[in-house]
Chain A
Amino acid sequence: MNGLTIVRYRNHRAFHRFLQVLLLLLSLANRGYAQDAAVEEDHAGHVPVISGGLGYIHIVDGGVTALEPQINPVLLLPFGSHVLLESRTDFTGFFQRQQLTKGPFAGKVFKTVEFAQIDWLADTHAIVSAGRYLIPFGLYGERLQPIWIKNLQDSPITATIGTRTSGSGDGLMLRGVLAQRPGYSVQYSSYFSARSGINQLQAARMAGADASIHLVQKQLEVGVSYQRFLQSREINSAATYLAWETPVAGLNLKAEGDYSYNGKGYWLEAAYLLQDLPIPPILRRTQFVGRMQQFFPEHGGGNGLPGIDTQRFDAGLNYYLRDDLRIVSSYGRTFSAQGNANIWNVGFTYRFMFPLWPGRSN
């Protein structure tokens, strides 16, 4: 048996294992669906869905103009009511003038598979995901990053902490609800990712976990994340975060502190949608956003983090034309020993969502 034969044999065996797991998941899904059919009293359809966001952002960063159109389609393909195949691919164009401040615009479109996973919604306490998934570290990467969700289009400085090397992991993830009561619920995620250099599927070898408690009455969520990076030289990263929908309608606060070998920092963001103010209805769709952040490098920074102390302040003004379409704008200023810089963003974002084929419409 030569080397090529061994590789083929192993691939053959691995493929069979994959098929066995897939068939097992599908059979469990059908069984679960049959059980649910007896108790469900809703008329919700389970047809495949294409969703996602698209937008265009005009950026002026330190006097250099950049154009950034992007679209992030999400495919949702359910098998019964317990198994879901989901994926999101990011297409982002980045165009700048050839001589930065003059000349014609040039650039390219980047394509990234952000997640492509199959989820088995086993029960309240366990959702098993296999494939490529977003790393559940902190508040930003997994939850706030989509263009139609984030209030400010620029990522926080510390967003690279805990998300090396691509923001995604290839492997297994287990997540769910540990405990739920009327007043609170405790949620968790744990994952392991293998190292991958495959085009569009790059990932690092790592393991980590995230846990949060959501106080339902207070609309407050507090959580911690931990990750151990398991390739090259092993490093730990940690994050603490909170998300609070304040008693003032439309006012949300989010904050995150991140720590790693390359540095530590935090960001604090407040967003206020004037939805309940006694003002003309047309003005109630206005949202004010503010964010401040600081980063302090250690061991020279790196891995996407600045090498010097950096502070940044952002102020944003968004206007919701509809619940899925908004105009976004922001001004930010970065303060560091390398020099201060102004960053202007203006553009629009749109969230789309439609079925891939007809289903129950009642």
Chain B
Amino acid sequence: MERRFYLQIHVSVMAGEVQLSPSIRISSFLLLCCLISGALPGRVQAAAAGSDQGSSTTQQTKPHSGEDVFKANCGRCHNPPASLPPRITGTVIMHMRTRARLSRQDELLLLKYLAP
């Protein structure tokens, strides 16, 4: 009932400052710390950056294949399609890269897997 759901939210009401409870703030802070620590520049995977320049993958990423990327990511949101016509594969993968926040490396692997 999407329509009814959105019709309701146009009703404006008085709102005020929300104070998140301490437990929520602490858990969110800890999770963010974990995320940030994994994203320190020195620890950023070289292959991810290298793939942006079109270089070959490093030894760390060799076990990954387009099939692995397909299995790991498509099912996160929806039932994967049984097939994809090659002529639209590039466009669809661009769309999915934006939606699913895939890396350039994953995009290239997917393209090679779906339209070899």
Contacts and interface: CB of A to CB of B under 8 A. Distances in A.
B102 A177 contact: yes
Nearest to A153: B1
Interface string A281-325: 000000000000000000110111000000000000000101110
A237 B9 CA distance: 15
Given A124-B103, A124-B105, A177-B48, A46 B38 contact: no
Interface residues of B, number: 79
B13 A303 contact: yes
Interface of B: 1-6, 8-18, 20-21, 24, 27-28, 31-32, 34-35, 38-40, 43-45, 47-49, 51-52, 54, 60-61, 63-64, 68, 72, 75-82, 84-95, 97-99, 101-106, 108, 111-112, 114-116
Given A235-B16, A259-B20, 11 more contacts: A47-B91, A59-B1, A70-B2, A164-B9, A167-B6, A175-B101, A179-B40, A188-B35, A240-B28, A304-B8, A355-B88
10 contacts: A68-B3, A124-B104, A177-B48, A181-B60, A213-B38, A216-B68, A304-B5, A361-B85, A361-B86, A361-B87
A5 interface: no
Contacts of A273: 79
Contacts of B87: 45, 47, 355, 358-361
A70 B12 CA distance: 27
B98 A238 contact: no
A154 B79 CA distance: 18
Contacts of B43: 179
Contacts of B72: 214, 216, 219
A259 B24 contact: yes
Q: What bracket does the count of chain A residues touching chain B fall in? A: 35 or more
B88 A354 contact: yes
Given A164-B9, A186-B35, A260-B18, A179 B48 contact: yes
A108 to B, nearest CB: 10
The 3 closest A-B pairs by CB, nearest first: A45-B87, A304-B9, A39-B54
Q: Is the interface of B mostly helix, strand, loop or mixed?
A: helix
A268 interface: no
B101 A68 contact: no
A244 to B, nearest CB: 10
Nearest to A239: B28
Nearest to B78: A149
A224 interface: yes
B51 A46 contact: no
A48 B79 contact: no
Nearest to B28: A224
Nearest to B79: A323
A312 B9 CA distance: 20
A353 B16 contact: no
B76 A36 contact: no
Given A84-B91, A177-B101, A219-B72, A68 B1 contact: yes
Nearest to B92: A49
A305 to B, nearest CB: 9
Contacts of A362: 86
A86 B99 CA distance: 11
